Structures are given as C-alpha cells and as structure tokens.
Amino acid sequence: MNSCDSSSSVNEKIFLRVAIVGNPNSGKTTLFNAMTGSNYKVANYPGVTVERKEGEVQLEGDWRLSVVDLPGIYSLFGHSPDEMVASSVISNGRKPGESIDAMVIVVDATNLERNLYLALQLIDMGVPIVVALTKIDLARKKGLKVYDELLSRQLGVPVIPVMARDGIGIEALVTEALHIGIEKRCSSKSFEWLKGQPALKEGADRVANVLNKGFIDESDKSRRMQALALISGLVKGENDQIQKIVLEEVDALKKKGIDPYTIEAQCRFEKIKEIKEHVSGLSSQGQSATANKIDSLLTHRFWGTLIFLVILGTMFQMIFFVAAYPMALIEMLMNRLAILVVAIVPPGALQSLLVDGVIAGVGSVVSFLPQIAILFFFIAILEDSGYMVRAAYLMDRVMSILGLQGRSFIPLLNSFACAVPGIMSARIIPSPAARITTILIAPLMSCSARLPVYTLLIAAFIPKHYVLPYVSLQGLVMLALYLLGVFVAAGVALILKWTVHRKENSYFVMEMPAYSRPSMKVVWREVRDRIKIFLNTAGRAILFCSILFWFMASYPKAPPDLSP
C-alpha cells in the first residue's frame, strides 16, 4: 500500500489501483458494479464477495483507474478466510504490480458505529482514503440525517454521499479517488482516540520499536497499529522476543488497572460515538416497528420455520410446472432443427453426429434452462430482499445441532444450484470445524445438474395427480428428493460432530440487514450470470459427453459380414 510518505512523479504514472473496503452488507459490491460496470454477485447477506475482483474505470485523458473489490471485513485483524483475503491484498500493497494507491471506504449511513470502526483503523494506517457514504436513502426513511461535510472534518478525509443503484455520486467518488491517489492525501486525524490513553500509547510504541516490519509498510503508524493488535491479543508475535515484550506490556497495563484486551476497542467506540454525535441529526433507532414485527414472525421458532418450508415448497412447485411450457417449446425447436439438418445433410456419419450428438447434447442442456432460471430467480429475490440472512438465523438452531453454524446455510443453499460455488462460499465460515463439515456435505445437496434427471424420473414414474388445489404429487416428490439430500447431509454432519469435531464449539453472529425491495435489474443480472456459468460448466461437459457417447456407439463399426 502506498503510504502518504511515498513520492512519485505525476507525469510518470498513468495507472492507479484503488481498493474498495468495507463491512459486509454495506453496499460495497453494488458500488463496485456502479463504478466499473462489471456484473458480479450482489446480495443482502455477509460474505458474498469471497474472492478478489478487479475492474477498470474508463477515464478521460491518460489516466487509468483499476478498482479492486475486496471481501467484506469488520476489522483489519480478522481470522476468517475471506477477512484474511482482504488483509492479504492490503498487506501486499507495496509489492510490484500489486500497489494500492488509494482506498475507498464504504460506510453505511444507517449504521455509523459499526462501519466507522474499520474506517478509523485504515485512517490510523496513514493511507490515502476517501469515504463513500452509502444507503443514505434508507437513513432518511429512518429519520437519520448524516452530514457528510461534518463527517469529512471529523475524519480528515473526503466523504462522498452515493446511491450506487441510481448512479448518484459515482462520478464524484471516482474523481476524488483519482485525486487522493495522485496526491497521496491522508488524514491528519490518525490515532486521535489514543490521546487519552498515554499508558497504552507508550506500551504500543515500545512494542513497535522491536517490530521488523509493519502491517502494510514500514511507517511508524503501521508499526503502531500492529503493536496495538499484539497487545490486544488479535495477533501473535512473529518470534519469542516480540512475544516476550508484548507480555511485559500486557502485564504493565494490567497493573495500572487497564484491560489490555478490550481497551483499544473501547477507546475506538468512544471516539466513534463522539463523531456520530457531531455528524448525525438524529440517533438511529434501528428498524421500524413494522420491520421488527416482520422479523419476529420470520424468525419465530415455529411460524418462521413453517413460512420457510412454504417458500421452499412454492419454489419447487414453480420449478416443475411453470418451467414446463418453455421447456416444451425448446424441445419442439430442437426437434425441428434436427429435422432441418436431416433434410439438408446427406445420410451418413456427419448427419448422425449433428443430430444424435450435437443437437441432442445441446437440446438436453438448453431444455432445462427454464427450471434453472426459476431456481436462481427465487434465490436472487430472497437474497436481495434481505430474507436470506433471516433464514440463515432461523436455521442456526438446526445447524448448531449438527455442529454447524447459521452461516453454513448460505453455502449449502448455493449448493442446490451448484456444489462448486457452494464449497467456495464456505470460506465465509470462521469456525474451521464448521467450515470443513460444510464443504464435505455440500456435494450431497441436489444441485441443478441433477434437476434434469429428477424431472425425467418423476415424469416417467409419478402420475400427474393433484393432492390439493395447485399442489401436485409430482411437485411434492421433487421436494422430497431434495429433502432426501438434506437428511443424508445432516446424518453425515452428525457423524462428523460425534467423531472428528467433538471438542470444538462455535458461535454464530450475523447482522440483520434492513428489508429492501428487490431490484429486478440485480435479480435479472444474477439469473443471467448463473445461466452463463451453467452453460460454460455443466453445458460444455454434457455436450462433450453426448458427442463422446455418440462416437463410442458408432465406432468401431461392425464388419459387413457380421451385420445381422
């Protein structure tokens, strides 16, 4: 990371890299999409952005601005894999080809206390920063007014209000990020919260003097940040000498009646409370009474579970019946295409390859796209509305029995679409035992590749009988097949809990985002991207297998004298 002490010639550098950093569910990835035009997953639950993504902003003149979207983090010293990915990008910012010239800190206007904690940490690091103040429309609905100019004075960095979905403030944000990256402008407010704690400051400086390297670079500010993390127990010393000095300072603070493990967080939050009193017109009172009533229903032990099962049942009924009409249309088009090829191409190996290999393979893939699109449509609606995290909270009661967390629900639900992204998204789970168990049972979920097989078997063996109005036996069997995978996965998780992971206990903490009306643009983009992924992965494999099976069935040909 290029610190404020760095010097470079503006005329020599025409390429800048900016990193977007923020808490989960703060609007970070939506902002990234608005800045770069890239189409990535956007949702209302923590940990969506697991891998680093990078896009480029088109600028006039010779300047090029590359934007890196980092995983959502609450602190610079997190321990979950996604937090470590973000910290790794920040800590490697000075390596050739990986230089980060500026940071865009995303701050949710509806929850300043939580978001400003990370912002203060990065300000203390002494790096060029611009704050993107998001969700200002939701803050207004709650009666909360955040004055961006006052917040800018308190933090000592530029603050740009943005509404990413509407494109408001994006141009100003990009311009400001470019300017601070060029000029290396940093805040003069670093470590202001530490002024009232001379004992902690002196202890941190003594530890900083023996550190070989800082968290981001070798500046005094970064070494002090790492020293504070060592004293707070957030990280461990690289060698026995450092750890010995840290323990000495910890003991010294304890003798003075100071808790070394909580004092930093307490001081930071006291400073954040002071900042909030200066910059906000009203105190945020959380969600409205209506939202709280909805939450009490959706997260209720009985009614919440019942509503969740009704939503799943409705989803599978829609997958089976609504998709039947476009599937029939696609099948008819494939049959007509095969007839056309037979009429144009002379009989022989080429005709057989095109009809029985290529068209049959493509048709088997394309014909199930409606079902897959409906599945992803429902998932995107649940994510973008804010319900998905409530479902995760609801399922935590069940997951804990299996040795898992509510966070495991999200990767397992993704595994219904495809096990690969489900396994990848398991990186958001901080507990190693719960993470490994989730990865092992994710393939047991019925992914979208099994949906065509289920559909064929149900159509062949289950009659079209309605148990209740609009509730068919075939749809119930489809739901039962999916639940079978869930029960098998639960059994495997229990076995792992009783054998491999008996000693580990974990706790589940997840922020409840505000309810929001799903954006059909975001939902459509999610469905489109998921379909592309299906066609590029499962589609290619099915087409290849179809052609391979045709070749194995056609060659070698039997000699003419052996023909019947």
Known binding positions for GTP: 22-29, 47-51, 69-72
Nearest to 221 by CA among 125, 361, 299: 125
Distances (CA, A) of 114 to 75, 104, 284, 402: 10, 17, 12, 31
**Single-letter amino acid code for the residue at 81:** P
Distances (CA, A) of 127 to 94, 120, 205, 329: 12, 11, 19, 58
Q: What is the full DSSP assignment across 183-252?
A: HT---S-TTGGGTT-HHHHHHHHHHHTT-SS-SSSSSHHHHHHHHHHHHHTSS--SSHHHHHHHHHHHHH
Q: 3-class DSSP state for residue 228?
A: helix
Q: What is the DSSP letter of 73?
A: -
- Name the helix (H) or strand (E) containing 64: strand 64-69
Residues written for the chain: 564
Strands 159-161 and 129-134: parallel
**Single-letter amino acid code for the residue at 360:** A
Residue 93 and residue 19: Cα distance in Å, rounded? 10
Q: Which residues pair with 132 in a beta bridge?
A: 106, 160
**Residues flagged as binding site for Mg(2+):** 33-34, 36-37
> Nearest 5°: CA angle at 394, between 392 and 400?
85
**Residues flagged as binding site:** 22-29, 33-34, 36-37, 47-51, 69-72
Distances (CA, A) of 6 to 89, 103, 186, 216: 18, 15, 11, 13
- Name the helix (H) or strand (E) containing 131: strand 129-134
> Nearest 5°: CA angle at 68, between 65 and 71?
160
**Residues ≥6 apart with Cβ < 8 Å to 246:** 207, 230, 231, 237
Residue 24 and residue 46: Cα distance in Å, rounded? 5
Record the tokens describing residue 129, joined without a space: 């920063």
Contact yes or no for 372/336 (Cβ under 8 A): no
CB atoms within 10 A of CB 136: 19
Residue 41 and residue 32: Cα distance in Å, rounded? 11
Contact yes or no for 72/28 (Cβ under 8 A): yes
